[in-house]
Structure formats: structure tokens, C-alpha cells
Structure 1
Amino acid sequence: MKKLAITFSLLLAGCASTPASPDWQGNAYSALDSFTSTYLKGNTRSAEADFARARADISSTGRADLVARAELVRCAVRVASLEFDDCAGYQPFAADAGKAERSYAAYLTARWQDVDAALLPPQHRAMVGSSATSVSTIDDPLARLIAAGALLQAGRLSPADTISATESASAQGWRRPLLAWLGVQLRSAQEAGDSEGVTRLQRRINLISASL
């Protein structure tokens, strides 16, 4: 399974090919992959350290556009966990980002009027437009969560997609997004007056919280 839903090719796109990849590329890939895993599991301190290592390796190139792409990786993982901050880490580098990255940032921050679907990572293209489909059609679980988070921000998320996102996080054992998506379901159950559903969802939340 690919842990980076937008894939590391986003980060390395445009880099000159060489017979042997420079150390910073492998180091940055490893750090970003570790960041993604630890963040989704709910280990904030380790995740922040991993991302700092990735940023340091990428910054050694002097390429602001590559830093922008790395920041979009972080933003996407946060969106999957329903932590919306307008991709704050990406914003200082937005001017150096390419068209594809700007479109992806717009997708992640619910500015869909600025999204060019053709420039989005393939798994997200079907989410945009009048014929948008369910997130359950996305094979990669992290990409599915990212799409669900983007749809939620844009006010386009269906109840079925909420369940799909929740169970995707559950199947992977990703505590952070699972708690967030269970919270969405809990609020819906409360608003609907579904006391049985509220009790069941709260039991799940308590079980996960106790393991943190």
C-alpha cells in the first residue's frame, strides 16, 4: 500500500535524472513516509520530527517549489484527519509552486473554483465536477480519506462517504483520522436523536482514546 496518497513523484517531479539519486531524495522520501505513518497513528511528536528531517533535506536543494510539494504532503495528511488549516505550511511557498500543485492546494482547501481536475493526482480527479463519484471508488485508503476530507470542507460529503472514510481509517488502524471521522458520525447521530448510535459511537471513541 502506498502511504503517500499523492505519491512521492509529486515531490521529485522536475528533478534532473541522474545515474544515482542524490542522498537527499532517499532521505526525504523515507522521512516523509515515516511522517505519514506516525501522524496517522497519532504520534504527533515523532511525526513532527520526521517532517522536520524531510524539510531539512529538501531545503538543502534551495528549491522552494520542492518544499511546496512536501508541504502539500503534510497538508493532505492533515486533511485526511480533518485538521484544516488552509495548508498553512504550503502558503509561504505557493508563489514558487507549479500549476498542478496550486490546483491540488485549492482542492485541499475547498477553493474548488480554482481546481483544474486534469491536474489533480489521478485518484482525486473523479471527485471534482457535477458527476463526482463516491470516495469508496478510490482504491488507496489514504487517498480515500484525503478525498473525503476535501469533500467535507466543500460541503459535498455524503453520509455513505463518511462511513467509508471512517471504516477505511479503522481498517488501517489509523487512530488520528479514525477519531476525527467517528466524531463526525457522532455529531450526526446526536443531531438525528439516535441515542443508540450515539452510545455505540462513543464506545468506539472511548476505546481508541484509551489506547493513545
Structure 2
Amino acid sequence: MRILVAALMITGLAGCAKRPVPPDWQLDARNALEAAVGAYLEGNDRIADVEMARARRALGATARPDLLARAELVRCAAQVASLVLAPCAAFDALAVDAAPAERAYAAYLRGAPADPALLPAQHRGVGTGQRLTASEDPLARLIAAGVLLQRQSLSDAELTAAVDTSSAQGWRRPLLAWLGEQQRRARAAGDDAEAQRVQRRIDLVR
């Protein structure tokens, strides 16, 4: 997760990152954003909201809406990883001031076509039509799976990979979401035994 957040944040703060000692607001924003995403994936909404508010305050000190837009995309990416596929309203409110890379990433998160060259490196493969790979960052893998699901092109093997990734990380929220999708497919296929097996896993997480 740290890799993904750093990739999304540091590239937007490149001018500041060249300084020997990063300014306090940059460190505060990065730490708060990582904590917010971690708490969200663990299913702790209270802490996630508190940390996201702290990240927004830190970024607000710069009066740069493009940085705040980038942070909102990080939060929305965690939602896509958890199959919360609602519009990214917080980003949409800032989109007019967002850079082309942010707008491309927002389109990607919606499952819409996006210029792969503008996407974060760990998403360019899916952006060019490739499949999931085991070498991707865990959170990036779940986000990509969410994108593929929206495109109605997620295979059963990739769904299993999303479940396994969530399980290995101990991320309750996406794990429940992906198990739910796995159970839905089992029921649609008339595989009651598989649906019941998945339900037993769901019961353990709740």
C-alpha cells in the first residue's frame, strides 16, 4: 500500500521532494493518507475519516487543489479496490484544477478508457489491455481487479487472485466484497456447494 500511495503522492510533489528535508505538510499529508487508506481497507470508517480529514488539512495549507484532487483519488482507488463503485464525487468537485494524469486516473477508476502513458506505472498494464500479474503491488492489484470487473472482463482466476490478495493482507473490507462477488458467481452457476464454502469464509470475516 505504501508503494501505491507514494507513487500517487510523490509524483505530484516532485518540486518539494527534491529538498533535503520535506516540509511538514508533505509528511503530514502522506502519513495521514496512508493511515486513512489502511483504516478504510481494514473496515474502520471512523479512523479512515479522521485521517482523511487530517490529510486534507495538511494539503489545504498549500492552496493547491491539484494536490487535494490527487489525494481524493487515492481514497477513491481504495473504494474501487473494495468494490465500492460509486462516482468519485470529491475528486469530481476538484477536477477542473486537476492535471491530465489525475483526470486519466479518475477515468481508469471508472473503468473508462484512459491514456496508459498518463497512468501510474502499476496500472499501465491493465490500461493497455493486459491481465493481472502476481508481481503487482497488492492494493494496485485489487484496484485493477475492480477496474476489470467494471469492464465486465474479470476472469474467475483473477477474481480468485483478488480474494487471495485481500486475505493475505488481512484487509477485511475488500475481502468481504470480493468473497461476495465470488459467491454471486457460484450461485449464478448453480454451484451451491461453492456458494456455501464461500459463505463460511464470509462468516469468519464478519
**What are the Cα deviations for residues 52-78 of structure 1, in whole angstroms up to 9, with x where unaligned?**
100011011100000000001001011
Q: 1:186-205, aligned counterparts within 5 Å?
A: 186-205=183-202
Matched, 1:127 2:126: yes
AA at the equivalent of 2:143: I
**Aligned amino acid, residue 171 of structure 1:** A
- The whole-number CA distance in structure 1 between the counterparts of 2:170 and 2:96 is 37
Q: Check if 1:148 corresponds to 2:145.
A: yes
In the TM superposition, residue 16 of structure 1 has moved relative to its aligned partner by 7.2
Structure 1 residue 146: Cα displacement: 0.5
Task: Name the structure where helix makes up a greater proportion of residues.
Answer: 2
| 1:37 aligned residue | 38
**In structure 1, C-alpha distance between the alignment counterparts of 2:19 and 2:169, rounded to whole Å:** 36
User: What's the counterpart of residue 82 of structure 2?
Assistant: 81
Structure 1 regions of 5+ residues with no counterpart?
none
Q: Which runs of 5 or more residues in structure 2 are unaligned?
A: none
Root-mean-square deviation (Å): 1.6
Q: In 2 relative to 1, CA 51–127 (structure 1 residues): closer, same or farther, beyond 3 Å?
A: same
CA shift for structure 1 position 138 = 4.0
Counterpart-to-counterpart distance in 1, 2:70 and 2:14: 9
Aligned-partner Cα distance in 1 for 2:50–2:155: 35
CA apart distance, 1:8: 2.7
Q: Which amino acid aligns with 1:89?
A: A
Q: Is contact 1:3-1:33 (8 Å) kept?
A: no
Alpha-carbon shift at residue 15 of structure 1 (Å): 4.3
- With normalisation by structure 2, the TM-score equals 0.94
Cα 1:34–1:3, aligned 2, differ >3 Å: closer, same or farther? Answer: farther
Count of matched residue pairs: 205
CA distance in 2 between partners of 1:101 and 1:13 (Å): 15
How far apart in 2 are the matches of 1:181 and 1:122? 24
Match of 1:58 in 2: 59
Q: Is the 8 A contact 1:11 1:70 kept in 2?
A: no
Distance in 2 between residues matched to 1:16 and 1:123, nearest whole Å: 21
Moved more, 59-68 or 152-161: 152-161
How far off is 1:17 after superposition?
A: 4.0
Q: Which amino acid aligns with 1:76?
A: A
Question: Counterpart of 2:46 in structure 1: which amino acid?
Answer: R
